[in-house]
Amino acid sequence: MKEIKRYYTLQASPADVYNALTNQVMIEIWTGEKAEFRPEPGFEFSLWDGEIVGKNIEFEQGRLIRQVWYFDDIESPVTIKLYPDKKSTSVELHQQNIPDEAFENISDGWDIDYFGSLEELFNE
């Protein structure tokens, strides 16, 4: 099992980044795919039309998102922390317990599909 710890900077306020990460309509806009999401602890979500599934654990408005992503019978904790940084938001991502065979796909997915797409959204 592997883990990822990454940092990203998005040209938006923490409130806007949080909204993009927790509002189902916004998620569908920046991913271009169907999503099932509610920012409620215990809600089992689906992103990218079922490519990512998991359960929401904890939310702090504009500051923190904790989830567990599922890889078959393996649970992979994900923590996203948002920090204000002048006219942008610094994002700290930490994902643990990633199966070795999924690591490269997950790693590229965070950089390109997830935060790359958010960067495009906020830099339009």
Going along the chain from its start, the domains and CATH numbers come out as: 2-122 (3.30.530.20)
| pTM for the predicted model, two decimal places | 0.95
Structure tokens at 75: 């649970």
Which pLDDT tens digit goes with each residue over 28-57? 999 999 999 999 999 999 999 999 999 999
Per residue in 6-22, pLDDT tens?
999 999 999 999 999 99
Task: Label residue 86 by pLDDT band (50, 70, 90).
Answer: confident
Q: How far apart are the first and last CA of the chain?
A: 37
